[in-house]
Amino acid sequence: MKKSVFNIFLLISIFSQANSQTKPLAIEEFKLKNGLHVKMIDFGSIPAVSMACFVNVGKKTETPGQQYLANLTATSLSLGNEKYNRSVQDKMIYKLGSELGISSNNNYTEITMRFLNKDAETALDLFSGLLLKPLFPTADIKQSIEQTLNYNNPYKMDINAITAMFSDYVLFGTSHPVGRHFYSAQLNKITSKEVTEFYKFNYTPKNTTLVLAGNFEHAAMKAMIEKMFGEWTAVYGENNGAAYEVQNISKKEYYFINKDRATQASLRWNKKSPEAGSKDVIPFEIANNAFNNLLFDEIRAKEGKTYGINSSYSETNTSGFYSVTTQVRNDVAYETTVSFDRVIKQFYEKGLTQADLDKAKAALKNERLSIENPAMIIEFYNPLIYKDAGKRNEFIASVDAITLEQANKILKKYFSPESYKLVIVGDEKILEPQIQKIKDLVKLPVTNIEKDN
């Protein structure tokens, strides 16, 4: 590994903030004339920058027949552009000791890069070429689709991936973009032309926020940003985000998907969660921390039914639900559903103790206090989730302010034992005696996802 490559990774990995973790961070915000929103966050003492571009486009933006188009468009940004072909681009990124990250989820697309201050102009030039002038070469797009279909065939997928896919399906249905999933006949119709049009409509200055965090001179960085991104224009010129109403879950529903020769069973309980940015989020996270501990203590530690069970909630990628996931031996699949019902009922009826509250608060605050590099700070201030950076600065105080009464009130709102959608994936031949015990269980063929609306 070249010395410059080693140095930047070493510097960023030890980017400690021990003396300023609880202090509000200085954040400068401005907009370019084309509408691009920029945030600059002062963090640390090392002359390095982490940069992230958040585009308000994700799976939620796809129309029927466009399944996977948001992800495909995002990842195809790295295939070369009018400024630099892919080979030159990759060599330049390597010489900078940098790396490029591109991801797209239900709600947004994020493109990240990190670099030393001395390389800022070169890095911004590379980044702007990728974002503003992509080429989307036909052969590469086709190859990417082929690879996606080969590695994401529902008949070959891991059982946990199938469980997640069908959880979206039963929660939203194919009339909702999050409930739709790509399949061969549909995805093979997408070409470079569709990718280009999707890009033009959604990747616009007004639909994008650029965030930089680190120790750098603001005026110089602002001038470079204006130089590199100021001429970015949009064909359609609008903010093209999408939002959908999330339906409630009013009862227990059970679904089963067969996976031949599966050696274990995958279970995923899906329940209503707070919307991102809601005032319910912090007390919910406190309650969920305690619920996680109880699930592990009862179902893993005492009963030994699984190596792990987890109640997960992501404010950045939420579509209005949280999930409890586990993978178990085939012979205890049904027993695990009984254990879950018992544990969530116990949690709901007993509520949190002061000790539970204190432990959960400490865990949440520790997550914030353990942030030690600018990339993590950018995620903490995610501009598409946390519109008010000043309010986000008050996170520690907001956690401290939650009372036991407030946390238990939220617990009653989101942890009812009488409503969830459980998806089970496993070998039907092995599990049949167990799943027969589940009343009103619906068996879903894998082909159910092969529809657009």
Residue 48 has pLDDT above 60, yes or no: yes
The pLDDT assigned to 58 comes to: 94
- The pLDDT > 90 percentage for the chain reads 84
- The pLDDT > 70 percentage for the chain reads 93
Cα–Cα distance, 411 to 178 (Å, whole number): 26
Name the nearest CA neighbour of 168 among 428, 451, 416, 421: 421
Q: pLDDT tens for residues 332-388?
A: 999 999 999 999 999 999 999 999 999 999 999 999 999 989 999 999 999 999 988
Residue 286 has pLDDT above 90, yes or no: yes
CB 411 within 8 A of CB 241: no
Cα angle value 92/94/95 (rounded, 5°):
65
Q: pLDDT tens for residues 377-427?
A: 999 999 999 988 888 999 999 999 999 999 999 999 999 999 999 999 999
Q: How far is CA 359 from CA 207, 282, 293, 432, in A?
A: 39, 14, 10, 41
- In order of their start, the domains of the chain are 3-229 (3.30.830.10), 252-449 (3.30.830.10)
Can you give the pTM of this predicted structure? 0.91
The pLDDT assigned to 153 comes to: 83
Residue 119 has pLDDT above 60, yes or no: yes
Q: Which pLDDT band holds residue 151 (cuts at 50, 70, 90)? A: confident
The pLDDT assigned to 152 comes to: 86
- The mean pLDDT of 19-47, rounded to a whole number, is 87
Identity at 435, one-letter amino acid code: I
The pLDDT assigned to 372 comes to: 87
Residue 136 has pLDDT above 50, yes or no: yes
- The mean pLDDT of 64-71, rounded to a whole number, is 97
- Phi then psi dihedrals of residue 402, to 5 deg: -70, 125
Q: List the structure tokens of 436.
A: 């027969």
Q: Which pLDDT band holds residue 21 (cuts at 50, 70, 90)? A: low
CB-count exposure of residue 288 (10 Å: 0-12, 13-18, 19+): buried
The pLDDT assigned to 243 comes to: 65
Residue 296 has pLDDT above 90, yes or no: yes
Mean of the per-residue pLDDT values for the chain? 92
Which of the residue ranges 8-22, 117-131, 293-307 would you say has the lowest mean pLDDT? 8-22
Residue 95 has pLDDT above 80, yes or no: yes
Q: pLDDT tens for residues 50-59?
A: 999 999 999 9
The residues that bridge with 310 in the sheet, in sequence order, are 325
Cα–Cα distance, 328 to 309 (Å, whole number): 9
Residue 24 has pLDDT above 60, yes or no: yes
Q: Which pLDDT band holds residue 5 (cuts at 50, 70, 90)? A: very low
Residue 116 has pLDDT above 70, yes or no: yes
- The mean pLDDT of 110-130, rounded to a whole number, is 97
More confident residue, 4 or 193: 193
Residue 8 has pLDDT above 60, yes or no: no
- The mean pLDDT of 433-447, rounded to a whole number, is 95
CB 109 within 8 A of CB 70: yes
Q: Which pLDDT band holds residue 322 (cuts at 50, 70, 90)? A: very high
Which of the residue ranges 115-124, 133-142, 282-291, 364-373 would you say has the lowest mean pLDDT? 364-373
